């Protein structure tokens, strides 16, 4: 299970619990400990984090206007972001960048990606091959320069980095120059010596250590070692897409005092982004814009009277109204996890947003009886065909609606017994101006 999924599931257990109290906060903290430790976050960091979350969450002075649930979600988000680091904003200006790191960490790929990054922002870029150890390194970087449209400098077969850099110094006139260096299986004096030579000859503005996320918390130790030896200006964490230890790597680098500059999330040239801890954690938690979401949930919770007779059975009509309500609230998945439901299948969220209009037509072509009982429709091909015809859609569309409905119905059945979820749902429907008393049943 990836980190984001586990974190969302931990949070939704909390937001969906019948009561949000001290006991629930403690259970959430225990769950967070389990999740973070399995992402290889250092145990000490984890305990410090959950201690802070607990203290802040149970602080008697709740911020005005926030319920305990909302407050805790916010605290968890802020503390996680604080643990993962800060935000790097690369200046779009001429500079020299040296990439260094151990074998296979992703240096050469990162050189190509950074070239793409600055090229697509209008600067000219040159790539310099200073990996004099690995025979194919020259061709690999040359290939990436072709792919990204960057200039390429290097001397095939040359073992002296000084000569390569002296040649590049004369010829390379690009705004951004990126030097790729050789890796080694371990941090040793030979590697350090070579890096020092490159450093002297190239005089880079940025010295970025490239680390693969899959080494987890060892990344912190590595960052310190390299920093002490050659002085780092930042760290690039690659392969965050394929590792369950990304949380460990990020938090360890951040606690070592080094700054995470970029993160790599794939093999393609555009799979690199400047690191922004808040954005990163927001995405992990399923709230790309958590501030806005909290605002909305709060607004809805502020609405006073709740409808008294809530119909517990989900019908096609209530289903449709729910989709519509959730859509009004913004990112569907975020809303659902806030309500205490587990992740809504991603494909359904995506689909439902595009299909609302169609669903509306289909449902309006149904008889009252059909709206109340989806089984009537499912069992009858003639009904499906009639509804499709009446709504200007295809029988597949009607069946698609039924399938989506069934999936949500399953979720709904398991959550409707859950008071926390129901209350929120009622408020949400209310906030979206949907009159529950007129719906379904």
Ligand X SMILES: Nc1nc2c(ncn2[C@@H]2O[C@H](COP(=O)(O)OP(=O)(O)OP(=O)(O)O)[C@@H](O)[C@H]2O)c(=O)[nH]1
Asked whether position 238 contacts ligand X by CB under 6 A, the answer is: yes
Determine the residue with CB nearest ligand X: 183
Q: Whole-angstrom Cα distance, residue 273 to residue 121?
A: 13
Q: Whole-angstrom Cα distance, residue 283 to residue 197?
A: 41
* C-beta closer to ligand X: residue 109 or 404: 109
31 binds, among Mg ion, ligand X, none (CB under 5 to 8 A by kind): none
Contacts of 354 (CB under 8 A, 6+ apart): none
Q: At 232, list the tokens.
A: 């780092």
Q: Which of 203, 294, 212 is nearest to 245 (CA)?
A: 212
* C-beta closer to ligand X: residue 6 or 105: 105
Asked whether position 243 contacts Mg ion by CB under 5 A, the answer is: no
Asked whether position 105 contacts ligand X by CB under 6 A, the answer is: yes
Q: Whole-angstrom Cα distance, residue 397 to residue 250?
A: 45
**Between residue 64 and residue 103, which ones bind ligand X under the rule CB under 6 A?**
101, 103
* C-beta closer to Mg ion: residue 130 or 285: 130
Q: Give yes or no for a contact between 244 and 230, defined as CB atoms under 8 angstroms apart.
A: no
Q: Give yes or no for a contact between 99 and 111, defined as CB atoms under 8 angstroms apart.
A: yes
Backbone torsions φ then ψ of 39, nearest 5 degrees: -95, 15
Contacts of 220 (CB under 8 A, 6+ apart): 42, 252, 253, 255, 256
196 binds, among Mg ion, ligand X, none (CB under 5 to 8 A by kind): none
**Between residue 102 and residue 141, which ones bind Mg ion under the rule CB under 5 A?**
107-108
Contacts of 188 (CB under 8 A, 6+ apart): none
Using the contact rule CB under 6 A, the part of the chain among 42-50, 156-164, 265-273, 370-378 near ligand X is 265-273
- Which of 242, 244, 288, 395 contacts ligand X by CB under 6 A? 242
Strand spans (E) along 221-372? 234-238, 260-264, 272-274
Q: Whole-angstrom Cα distance, residue 387 to residue 366?
A: 6
Asked whether position 134 contacts ligand X by CB under 6 A, the answer is: yes
CB of 384 to ligand X, least distance (A): 44
* C-beta closer to ligand X: residue 102 or 374: 102
From residue 191 to residue 230, the character string flagging contacts with ligand X as x (rule: CB under 6 A) and all else as - is: ----------------------------------------
**Between residue 372 and residue 431, which ones bind ligand X under the rule CB under 6 A?**
none
Which residues of this protein are in contact with Mg ion, per CB under 5 A?
Answer: 107-108
Query: Which residues would be at the binding site for ligand X (CB under 6 A)?
Result: 101, 103-109, 131, 134, 137, 183, 238-239, 241-242, 264-267, 271
């Amino acid at each position: 299970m990836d980190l984001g999924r586990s974190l969302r599931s931990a949070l939704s257990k909390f937001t969906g619990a019948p009561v949000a109290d001290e006991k629930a906060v403690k259970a959430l903290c225990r769950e967070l400990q389990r999740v973070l430790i399995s992402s290889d976050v250092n145990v000490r960091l984890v305990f410090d984090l959950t201690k802070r979350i607990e203290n802040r969450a149970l602080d008697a002075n709740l911020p005005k206007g926030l319920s305990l649930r909302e407050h805790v979600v916010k605290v968890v988000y802020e503390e996680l972001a604080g643990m993962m680091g800060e935000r790097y904003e690369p200046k779009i200006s001429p500079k020299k960048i040296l990439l260094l790191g151990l074998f296979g960490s992703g240096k050469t790929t990162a050189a190509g990606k950074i070239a793409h990054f600055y090229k697509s922002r209008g600067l000219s870029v040159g790539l310099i091959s200073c990996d004099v150890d690995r025979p194919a390194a020259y061709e690999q970087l040359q290939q990436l320069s072709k792919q990204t449209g960057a200039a390429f400098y290097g001397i095939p077969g040359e073992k002296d980095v000084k000569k390569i850099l002296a040649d590049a110094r004369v010829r390379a006139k690009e705004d951004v120059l990126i030097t790729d260096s050789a890796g080694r299986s371990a941090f040793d004096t030979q590697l350090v010596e070579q890096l020092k030579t490159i450093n002297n000859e190239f005089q880079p503005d940025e010295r970025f250590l490239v680390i693969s996320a899959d080494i987890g918390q060892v990344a912190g130790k590595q960052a310190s070692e390299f920093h002490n030896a050659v002085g780092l200006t930042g760290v690039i964490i690659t392969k965050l897409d394929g590792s369950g230890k990304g949380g460990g790597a990020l938090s360890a680098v951040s606690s070592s005092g080094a700054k995470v500059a970029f993160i790599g999330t794939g093999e393609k040239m555009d799979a690199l982004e400047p690191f922004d801890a808040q954005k990163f954690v927001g995405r992990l938690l399923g709230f790309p814009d958590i501030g806005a979401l909290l605002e909305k949930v709060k607004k809805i919770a502020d609405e006073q009277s709740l409808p008294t007779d809530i119909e517990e059975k989900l019908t096609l009509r209530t289903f449709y109204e729910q989709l519509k309500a959730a859509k009004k609230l913004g990112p569907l998945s975020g809303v659902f996890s806030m309500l205490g439901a587990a992740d809504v299948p991603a494909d359904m969220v995506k689909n439902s947003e595009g299909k609302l209009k169609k669903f509306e037509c289909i449902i309006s072509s149904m008889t009252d009886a059909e709206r109340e009982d989806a089984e009537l429709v499912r069992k009858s091909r003639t009904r499906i065909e009639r509804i499709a015809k009446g709504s200007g859609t295809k029988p597949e569309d009607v069946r698609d609606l039924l399938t989506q409905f069934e999936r949500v119905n399953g979720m709904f059945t398991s959550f409707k017994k859950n008071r926390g979820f129901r209350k929120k749902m009622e408020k949400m429907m209310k906030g979206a101006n949907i009159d529950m008393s007129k719906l379904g049943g």
